[in-house]
Structure 1
Amino acid sequence: MDVRRKLVASAALAAFSAPSWAQQQSDEIEVVKVTAQKRKEDPAKVAMSITAVTGAQLQAEHVNDITDLTRVVPNISFTAASGNGGAGPGTSNIEIRGISSTAGAATVGMYLGETPITVGNVYTMGNIEPRFFDIDRVEVLRGPQATLYGASSMGGTIKFVPVEPDLKEREFSTYTEASNTKGGSPSYSGNVIGNFPLIPDELALRIGVQAQHTGGYINQVDNDGNLLARNINQMSDQELRAALKWKPTRTLTISPSVYFQRVDAKDIDAFNLDMPLYQARKVVREPSIDKLLTPSVTINWDMGGADLTSTTSYFERKFDRQQNGSEYSSYAMSSDLTSIENGGKAPQALIDAVVALPSVVYLNNQVRQVAQEFRVASHPYDEKVSPWTWLVGTYFSNQHTNITEDDPIPGITATFASFGFDIADPTLLPDAAPGQFPHDSVYAGIFHYREKQGSVFGELNYYFSPTVHATFGARYLKAKSTLSQINSNYGAGPGDNSSADISAHAFTPKYALTWEVDPANTVYTSVSKGFRLGGANVYVPSVTCAGDLQDQGLTDAPIAYAPDSLWSYEVGSKSRFLNNHVSLNADVFYVKWKNIQQAVYMPNCGYTYNANAGNATTKGFEFDIKAKPMPGLTLSLSAGYVKAVLSDDSGIANGVVGAVAGARIQGVPNYNAALNATYNFSAWDMPAFVMGGMQWVGSSRGTLDPDQTDYERPGYHTNDFSTGLTMGAYTFTAFVKNAFDTKTIIQHPQVASIVQGYRLTPRSIGVSLATKF
């Protein structure tokens, strides 16, 4: 979880050039077209809850990443990947409407353009987090999207839609920003984007680069409180995007593109709650490097009576990170030693020396996926042509996930030797044998996941009249997932090397009815099914984790977990009033979730496995309202409420502590809301603005287990302000984020014996400059 960027400065205006500002001065509410149903259309005519945030708004409100987005879009939340305790960038998972994604396959589909970038929730990483660079809009589609987007979208789908190359206009833009964080180090960023029509009206290139540095505010200290390093949670990232648009004929468009991103985090955002604020007591640093590469080719062909779209895509993620394993490996090793006082051979001095040794966990993750989608869609509805519209398609993907883990305790062999012992002596360590500690490594694991999916899908609309139509959609999916694992060294046990194949198929229908009461008001209702694949669990050593397993009433961890599914019921309305000076979208929903997958984290040994925690229900509402009550003034308020709870006690039998009826699903705030006001005016005959905003996030539960430190997570709010002036092609802004320096500890998980704290980034003050020519 990237806490440095979690503040949504709803108040900080980034830079618009003069032409962009001119577009913003309309007295009507802007209508953002979306592609939620695989064709571009007005969201007011789509029978689902959608929030579309433009790239201009992302810049204006300094929404830098997905976790920022969760503060301005109703009923989206984030939580740390299983067992990571909010470990850092690249380890967060996203939930929509309380459909938690901390275990198993993802519950929220992720798309970058036409490229699916959804990954499973393994114990070493979370969702891919694209930076909001050269983005036209972000579409958040709530509710199951299995018909058009597949199995890993049972809670919803998030689409990052980049800006397309323009075949007509040459454009060159820059953006730079600098800020300073209270008690921390400076942050700065810059990007350059160019659009070049190479052959007017036929071929264009759009290319851009970005570099950012985010300052830190956490200091590293040793066990005695002595300062080792300042501002360790700094982060740098770089992005490159290049896209071509070739239109050789009026009916054919070919669009190849590539996106590359590198995020280099020097440490995580955690500090010790038993230390002075923002001090992390550790000897081993916890950096990470997360790389993403996504080349793709999309072909659109107007065949006359229908449109054919083909998307061939590939993505590769390499995520290498390091964790402080001292509280796991060294402590576990010392607890395995039998002291002289207890009838063994290990002197207490040796046990104390082992406990004091620092240890490291090296995690290397690689995900590769090839995907192909073909779809054919009829032209938009025309009552003179036909009462039917339709879309059919097929999809295939092949994803490989490779994880290697190495847990050394540097100096462990020499420490035993200094006391005159052989580390492989079984009278000191149970089951120890020669060759089990290569290069002082006490555990090594290699895991290979493979998931193949194939599906056919379609949607059919019938118009009873130009204002009333029914939708029926369905997808049939077949999938096979495989886990192969090799566990070695002292921490592994007999039978640790295994493989498992799990096959599944699913039929996920959708039904909807839409009534356009008049051109400015639409009501709808929908019923849809979501599905998620099951899978095999990674090995959990029964000796190392004996105490945790016993607390859960188990001897061994489950070797696999089952699929889960849900049915969602929704009613909503989308309205525009007073000549489009006011818009209001609202909906209510109810979800029945069967056999929910949840992560079971064992804090004493540091391992996690997945289990089914029984059934659950989520229900709630969302709304957003925008108004332009007077020239220059724009007001917006969005909010959501969700009650996501287990509906039975069956998860207890699978070792899920706290999985009882009425227990809140972990990681889901009970509400969130965002209020924003922007006033545009003229100063010295130049466009100017002031902006202010506030965001609220309600309380949540970090775990189902009431005895864990992260069980209760508090609610919090932030405030942000900005002002700016446009002079020709230049826009200057000044802003303050977290203006009142909210210090709420928003998460406080326990990692072994350490209780970690995570807070919002302290108050930061900055300036920016944008140009467009």
Structure 2
Amino acid sequence: MFSAVAAALALQAPVAQSQAQVAQQMSNNDQIEVVTVTAQKRREDPAKVAMSISAVTGKQLQEEHIRDITDLTRVVPNISFTAASGNGGAGPGTSNIEIRGVSSTAGAATVGVYLGDTPVTVGNVYTMGNIEPRFFDIDRVEVLRGPQATLYGASSMGGTIKFVPNEPDLKEREVTTYTEASNTKGGSASWSANVVGNFPLVPDELALRIGVQAQHTGGFIDQVDGNGSVLANNINKISDQELRVALKWRATRDVIVTPSLYFQRLDAKDISAFNLDRPNYQAQKQVREPSIDKLLAPSITVNWDLGGADLTSATSYFSRKFDRTQNGSAYNSYSLSTFLTSTEDGGKAPPELIDAIAGLPSAVYLQNRVRQVSQEFRLASRPYDPANAAVSPWTWLAGTYFSRQRTDIAENDPIFGLTDTFKSFGFDIDDPELLPDVRPGAFPNDDAFAGQFHYREKQASIFGEANYYFSPAVHATVGARYLKAKSTLAQRNGNYLAGAGNNSGASLSSHAFTPKYALTWEVDPANTVYTSVAKGFRLGGSNIFVPPTTCGPDLELNGLSEGPPNYEADSLWSYELGSKSRFLGNRLTVNADVFYVKWKNIQQGVYLPTCAYTYNANAGDATTRGVEFDIKAKPMAGLTLSASGGYVKAELSNDVGSQNGVVGAVAGARIQGVPKYNAAISARYNFALAGAQSAFVMGGVQWVGASKGSLNPQSTDHDRPGYHTADFSAGTSVDNYTVTVFVKNAFDNDTVIQHPQVASIVQGYRLMPRAIGVSLATKF
């Protein structure tokens, strides 16, 4: 009996020991995690950096099932997204990102986007939006709020988003996998799978990191015909694949070389728009709107420890190939029908022919190509050492940057069956008594419009920052960047809807000096107060040709005889005051700031309603002001609470935009696409189970305030409602396995968050319906 008891105790001992180890591990992790950032291009504690920063770790992205930019905007203060001009929030790759209300769907981007050291920022060119890297093998995403022109250049006037990938580890071999499956209410299933391996090839000298991922996001929109009969189910599904390869080579004791490559392919079967006058998220359309967006981004970074300073060379290239189709039936076919001379007005076209032309299907085929090569050299001093402050109270960073970007766009707009429709009524398509100013060959292969647009942009800049430490607790920062750039546009367009056709070019040279000033006071090791003043800037550019034959009346209303060839740069000044504090032994952190931005000469799109063309112009000034906060707490072992949010008031400050033809651009009008506020709260509780098993439960709610989708008060998208979502999950870990069950949009909020009008059709965009799923993560 004694031996039986001893044996039972012996079996229970490892279990008790395992439980104790798990409990001890959780107890030791009772402080808020400090996520090191590279916002100032050196590794730093974000609490010591004089700017507002949110850093979301790769672990957090995975645990909270944050899959794309739209998810990120709901959990990070004062970041939002809106559709690029002419898209209405169509799909991946067509949205713009805004920070702190610095929002513009025209001209250059207002937020810089980086993939590691590779800038992948593209402008609002011809309905293209930001590149959206997937959250794959990511160490963290850094959101830097406020102008970052000193270190990141033009287009970082609202802020910068950095996707920081995991680096190869020279010591540890590791393989991780992640799989996920879920089902969308009223739609189809979604799934995701990836595997990442880290392999030291030569210990402490050479390592390889390689990973692949495949994902599928289910759809929930059905395509129907005019009678409501379903033609296709769940058309807005998306498939994507990613590949990342990186090497890390310690060539010498002082030199590390890191080449890497990232490839991404997004295949969207259609957009997420439905007709508001149809039930059950149905889209009545004649032409499907798929897209394929490919990104290739190789780079090589060299870090050289020179003893007293660090030299970094970052050489990068990216290529984007974005092919997409838009349903042009609502404007190409309809526009052409309005040019026909009706018999009721003394012309030759019978009303039946006009109606038949207006009802024909039409597509807009867009082939977008963007390529950029860039080179940055920077030299950085050693971090500040209080023990050596008498010798050197300075730290500094200086660098130079060059880039060449080319964007090529081809557009073709066929109206299917056009020639045959004319013939069925006994007419020739090139009859000038039917269509004014028509020429033979104006509709080759039923193509109503064809255009070729070739943009070129060159940049060169020098930049630097210096910090002077008056004492270990107080230091001042002065930085500046001087930039020179030249952009050109060569274009050729023709066919009937291009008017008389065009073959022209335009160019614009820009330069800017963007300073930054900051003062930082470390009141004590746990509390920092800072203030900063910084200038932001984005380049001007050239406009596509506006045909005066069809757009003349609209141009005359704006006081123009032809469309302007160029639009100028715009700029802003930002003023910020903030604090970053840690309390209770880093069990509570509170970051908060207030800001004021004065924005001049805003780049805005001028829409010409008669001919449906748009050109960019500089129209008016604006101010944005607001607050941000981020609070995290661990009040007891295993429990983590967080709350974050932001409020922004972004308004035009004069009527110049309205005077220049931008409808609704008057003083006091809210800038489009900017929610009044966003906020998020979450709670996570970790606890020990039997053996070496641990578990967690987690929940969060996100709120996004009301916004304006258009400056025009008569637009159907002028007033966008606020909305909220709620997500919950629970999981358990044992050894190297973690299983999680989750629900996103748990209460199935079906708010229509955008409702733009395309011709006579009012479209709707809503949150993705409730999705319930399960995931498995492994680590070996």
TM tier relative to shorter chain: over 0.9
Aligned residues: 756
Q: Which has the higher contact order (CA 8 A, sep 6+)?
A: 1
Question: Could you tell me which residue of structure 2 aligns to residue 423 of structure 1?
Answer: 429
Where do residues 439-454 of structure 1 align in structure 2 (5 Å cutoff)?
A: 439-454=445-460
Q: Counterpart in 2 of 1:397? A: 403
User: In the aligned structure 2, how far is the partner of 1:270 from the partner of 1:604?
Assistant: 25
Aligned to 1:84: 87
**2:498 is the alignment partner of 1:492:** yes
Match of 1:511 in 2: 517
1:225 to 211, 215, 228: 228
Post-superposition CA distance 1:283-324 (Å, at most 9, x none): 100000000000000000000110000000000000000000
Q: Which residue of 1 aligns with 2:696?
A: 689
Q: CA RMSD in A?
A: 1.6
Question: Displacement of 1:376 after TM fit?
Answer: 0.3
Specify the alignment match of 2:74 in structure 1: 71
Paired residue type of 1:156 = G
* Residue 521 of structure 1: how far off its partner (Å): 0.3
Larger Rg: 2
Give 2:604's aligned amino acid. Q
1:400-449, CA deviations, whole angstroms, 9 ceiling, x for partnerless residues? 00000000011111111122211111111011011111111010000011
- Letter matched to residue 774 of structure 2: V
Once residues 21 and 590 of structure 1 are traced to their aligned partners in structure 2, the CA distance between those partners, rounded to angstroms, is: 46
Gaps of 5+ in 2: 1-20
Relative to 1, partners in 2 of residues 1:280 and 1:604: Cα closer, same or farther, differing over 3 Å? farther
Cα–Cα, structure 1 residues 23 and 441, in superposed 2: closer, same or farther, change >3 Å? farther
Q: 1:21 to 1:161 in 2, by over 3 A?
A: farther
User: 1:10 is matched with which residue?
Assistant: none
Letter in 2 for 1:612: N
Contact kept in structure 1, 2:138 and 2:165, CA below 8 Å = yes
- Local SS of the residue matching 1:396: strand
Cα distance in 2 between the residues matched to 1:739 and 1:549 = 50
Task: Identify the range of structure 1 (543-552 vs 347-356) with the bigger mean alpha-carbon deviation.
Answer: 543-552
**Match of residue 624 from structure 2:** 618
**Structure 1 gaps, min length 5:** 1-17
Q: Which sits farther off after the overlay, 676-685 or 232-241?
A: 676-685
Tell me the distance in 1 between the aligned counterparts of 2:90 and 2:164.
28
Match of 1:243 among 228, 232, 246: 246
Cα 1:63–1:546 change in 2 (3 A) is farther
Indicate the residue corresponding to 2:338 in structure 1.
335
For 1:353 and 1:24, locate their aligned partners in 2 and report how far apart those are by CA, in whole Å.
74
Residue 141 of structure 1: SS of its match in structure 2?
strand
Corresponding residue number in structure 1 for 2:774: 767
Could you tell me how far apart the structure 1 residues matched to 2:508 and 2:248 are?
41
The one-letter code matched in structure 1 to 2:574 is S
Q: Does 2:569 match 1:563?
A: yes
Match among 471, 475, 481 for residue 477 of structure 2: 471
Matches within 5 A, 1:625-640: 625-640=631-646
Q: Structure 1 CA distance, aligned partners of 2:334 and 2:549?
A: 14
**TM-score normalised according to structure 2 size:** 0.95
d(CA) in 1 for partners of 2:161, 2:272: 25
| CA-to-aligned-CA distance 1:38-94 (integer Å, 9 cap, x gap) | 100101111110111100001111111112111000000100001111111100000
Mapping 1:128-527, distance limit 5 Å = 128-383=131-386, 384=388, 385-494=391-500, 496-527=502-533
Write out aligned runs for 1:89-104 (5 A).
89-104=92-107
Instruction: Give TM-score, length-normalised by structure 1.
Output: 0.96
Paired position in structure 2 for 1:643: 649
SS of the counterpart of 1:253?
strand
User: 8 Å contact 1:604–1:752 — kept in the other structure?
Assistant: no
Contact 2:394/2:469 (<8 A) preserved: yes
Change (3 A) 1:184 1:604: farther
* Contact 1:83–1:601 (8 Å) recurs in 2: no
Higher mean Cα deviation, 46-55 or 597-606? 597-606
Pair 548,187 (structure 1): closer, same or farther in 2 beyond 3 Å: farther
Question: What CA distance in whole angstroms lies between the structure 1 residues aligned with 2:716 and 2:609?
Answer: 11
Match of 1:742 in 2: 749
What amino acid is the match of 1:72?
V
AA aligned opposite 1:522: T
Q: Which amino acid aligns with 1:322?
A: T
Whether the aligned pair in 1 keeps the contact of 2:87 and 2:94 (CA below 8 Å) is yes
Report SS of the residue matched to 1:432: coil
Q: 1:633 to 1:615 in 2, by over 3 A?
A: same
Q: Which residue does 1:5 correspond to in 2?
A: none
Is 1:61 aligned to 2:67, yes or no?
Answer: no
Instruction: Please give the alpha-carbon distance, in whole angstroms, between the structure 1 residues aligned to 2:586 and 2:190.
Output: 40
Partner of 2:707: 700
Name which of 12, 19, 32 aligns with 2:35: 32
Indicate the percent of aligned positions where both proteins have the same amino acid: 75
Q: Within 1, Cα distance between the matches of 2:776 and 2:623?
A: 47
Whole-Å separation in 2 of the counterparts to 1:400 and 1:237: 25
Identify which of 724, 729, 732 aligns with 1:725: 732
| One-letter identity of the residue aligned with 1:286 | E
Q: 1:23 to 1:442 in 2, by over 3 A?
A: farther
Q: Distance in 2 between matches of 1:79 and 1:367?
A: 21
**Paired position in structure 2 for 1:4:** none
Matched residue SS, 2:502: coil
The answer to whether 1:115 aligns with 2:118 is yes
> Which shifted more, 717-726 or 533-542?
533-542
CA distance in 2 between partners of 1:470 and 1:96 (Å): 25
* Maintained 8 Å contact 1:82/1:608: no
In the TM superposition, residue 599 of structure 1 has moved relative to its aligned partner by 2.2
SS of residue in 1 equivalent to 2:671: coil
Equivalent-residue separation in structure 2 for 1:606 and 1:76 (angstroms) = 30
